[in-house]
Amino acid sequence: MIRVLSREDVRRALPMRQAIEAMKRAFAQLSTGQANVPLRVPLQVNRHNGVTLFMPAYLAADDQMAIKIVSVFNDNPAKGLPLIHALVVVVDATTGTPAAVMDGTYLTALRTGAASGAATDLLARPDAHTTAIFGAGAQARTQLEAVCAVRPIQEAWVYDVAPQQAAAYAREMSQYLSLPVRVAGTPAEAVRQADVICTATTSASPVFDDADVRPGTHINAVGAYTPQMQEIPAATVLRARVVIDHREASLAEAGDVLIPLQQGLITIDHIYAELGEIAAGRKPGRATPEEITLFKSVGVAVQDVAAASAVLEAARRLNLGTEVAL
């Protein structure tokens, strides 16, 4: 029997706070040699302006295994379709038997937000109370939710190149989080007031100016996932303590890091740590209240394994989903 879980099943099974703790455990295993994570395999579909990624991983300490298939098709929003579609298959690591298949679109947004929540918890100032969100899609929603789960956020700003989408985001998230969410007219209006910045866009160029970033700011950069994409100004990367999700993946895919490297502005030694090294207690996080910290994530399959395994465990306990025979 295999359990089939819908988006709503996934949402009910894994609240954000639990997802954040699952990400800390997953990243700690990744950075301490307890995970088998091949580089994801991208299948380019240039004819339709898209890419499908295949992302397997095994967490040895938790004995968990899964694979995610995720598609990013950039023309979809114009067709009224989500930018991202995904499916996750959980495999029983003791027998190799498929145990569950579940919606991966929401799970991707959830685990990406939860990774930023983990980074914010480990790197942001404890008194951070204002956040700025760049982008107004599904990823941007879980970014704000995650930051609010770990810091006493009192006000949020959102900026998007499509003002009507930003306005809809502000209305929805204000109600969902019981928090004032305001639409910024310019990137500077959002950044100049922010203690925590989250970028969740598909931009090929920086989405704000370095001069607007205040000392003590923490930044979660999760949108750029190819060497050509860049959300964060190189000058900001240069003056920040840079923490990444996975060294191998970041040096292959993270344009926010690779572009300053190629420009000769930084060296590989500028990368301070993987998030898992901090989560595992092997390195400290923020050094001073004035320091700028940057968490750069391209997404790693251990996140999907940890989140999907937690979902399956809760689904069995709560009797969520439908069991079918293959």
Q: CA-CA distance, 170 to 164, in Å (whole number)?
A: 10
Residue 79 designated active-site: no
3-state secondary structure of 282: coil
Q: CA-CA distance, 167 to 237, in Å (whole number)?
A: 29
- Beta strands 130-134 and 196-199 are parallel
Give which of 97, 77, 95 is closest to 85, Cα–Cα.
77
8-state DSSP, 104:
-
| Interacting residues of 88 by C-beta distance below 8 A, sequence separation 6+ | 66, 67, 68, 69, 101, 102, 103, 104, 107, 304, 308
Buried b (16+ CB within 10 A) or exposed e, 47-83: eeebbbbebbbbbeebebbbbbbbbbbeebeeeeeeb
Give the chain's radius of gyration (CA, Å).
Answer: 19
Given 68, 79, 283, 296, which residue is catalytic?
68
Q: Which residues does the annotation mark as catalytic?
A: 68
